[in-house]
Structure 1
């Protein structure tokens, strides 16, 4: 009953126009602020997205998910906030990232890349979008890097052995464990919808994400999280709105 009431509040707010629809992040201006807000939201569900490791504060309990440290033990135990859609994936669509700008000067020299793009308010809002931020093992966050998502296949071994965490890396492609695939797909679909023209979903991955979305439907926490984020950053995730409404209908 509690879950149903939470969903009803979200949908009623949307229908009254109190929260923006079909738009991206409305309130949060930078990634630093975003990390504080999303960390507070996740306190009631302290588990990482790709390996389902439990964490407390900023420390990962690697034993809880059987993650095998690769090289950087310090980073492996550290909680980081993963951009499911990598900042580079949409950042390269900004001139500041590719070429720099007059605002991006250091010691008389112009620079480019993520720091320069951060001076563009639109990029800063995208980088700070809470729907795209999920907790993850720091080391795995770094290893995933900006690799695109893929279905590598059960018969193909990962280039790295992550122990009981069966995420896979192969030739600059990343395949999350099954329980994360739906979340990943819906995150990409949301970002592509509210920030059009930024090259977020390739034609090749469109079908992959549609398949993952159907095969691994949204769960209660994903929906509750979306309700909290909508209030925090001022826009509804319409991709999840449709799917969470279906859950609400089934539970009646």
Structure 2
């Protein structure tokens, strides 16, 4: 099984260098430069809060009514946010389990592709990006931390991030693209939420234009946003990448019940509920190892 997984990952890496891809960014750092120069060159509105910004000067917090929660230095800059956190697409990789994000960057070509995918990158106020971290998207209950006029709410107790209504469809369509391209499982609860959000917040003109620009820059379009003329997305790349990221377990575990660590029978079962069911509470310190009393 390991040999097969290695061959699939190697094949995906070869495809990345193929001429069928226009210019897939080689790293997260290069993706940020491409996003600024080729995608957002004439855009000056942050993703979640709608604050005008300059990439060098940062966001105009006063003009948009943003209230700093705790981190003024980070709130004063624009950062590139992964809509689907690197933790979500990294924790299914062996490289992540062996050494976390830095190890994946050094040793896993498919992870680097997912981390640098322009469809998953948006400009956000640094404090909001930091507070969101790898929280799941959802509707929060108390206690809630808010940011003035910015329509974002965060519950650190529930580890839930509630985006503004006008971005919820964008988030759903991004998650579906990442799911299909990299074979990442989305829990049934999240899928239901995203379906509702996509209906409530349909595709707008900027989302369409952004999709066109990304297709021109990296050769892949998000089919949930709209078909792009001369789209260069090779189906074999999507298939190969998905296979290389999917769980190898066929144990028959089910997401139908939400289990605690005390109810788990094995480390394999805890990994299934973390990775395939999205039960992030099993990994309280977010190190990729759930129920450490069982998996250590």
Structure 2 residue corresponding to 1:238, chosen from 223, 231, 236:
223
4+ runs of 1 displaced by more than 3 Å?
none
Q: Give the number of equivalent residue pairs.
A: 206
Q: Of 29, 35, 40, which residue of structure 2 is paired with 1:38?
A: 35
> What is the DSSP-based 3-state SS (H/G/I as helix, E as strand, rest coil) of the residue aligned with 1:167?
strand
CA distance in 2: counterparts of 1:19 and 1:241, whole angstroms: 20
**CA offsets per residue over residues 49-102 of structure 1, 9 Å max, x none?**
110111012311112321111121111010100000000011001101012xxx
1:143 is displaced (CA, Å) by: 0.3
Q: Structure 1 length as normaliser, TM-score?
A: 0.77
1:217 aligned partner: 202
Question: 3-state DSSP class of the match of 1:134?
Answer: strand
* CA drift at 1:161: 2.5
By how many angstroms is 1:167 displaced?
A: 0.7
1:78 alignment counterpart: 77
Report the secondary structure of 1:169's partner residue: strand
Matches within 5 A, 1:22-37: 27-37=24-34
Matched, 1:184 2:171: yes
Equivalence map 1:75-224=2 (5 Å)? 75-99=74-98, 112-119=99-106, 120-152=108-140, 156-157=141-142, 159-170=144-155, 171-196=158-183, 198-199=184-185, 201-224=186-209
* Contact 1:168–1:176 (Cα < 8 Å) also in 2: yes
SS of match in other structure, 1:93: coil
**Is the alpha carbon distance of 1:204 and 1:19 closer, same or farther for their aligned partners in structure 2, counting shifts above 3 Å?**
farther
Tell me, in whole angstroms, the C-alpha distance in 1 between the residues paired with 2:181 and 2:75: 32
Tell whether the 8 Å contact from 1:157 to 1:168 is kept in structure 2 after alignment.
no
Over the aligned positions, Cα root-mean-square deviation in angstroms equals: 1.9
Distance 2:143 2:81 in 1: 20
* Cα distance in structure 1, aligned partners of 2:174 and 2:212: 15
* Higher relative contact order, chain-length normalized (CA < 8 Å, sep 6+): 1
Contact 2:144 2:153 in 1 (8 A): yes
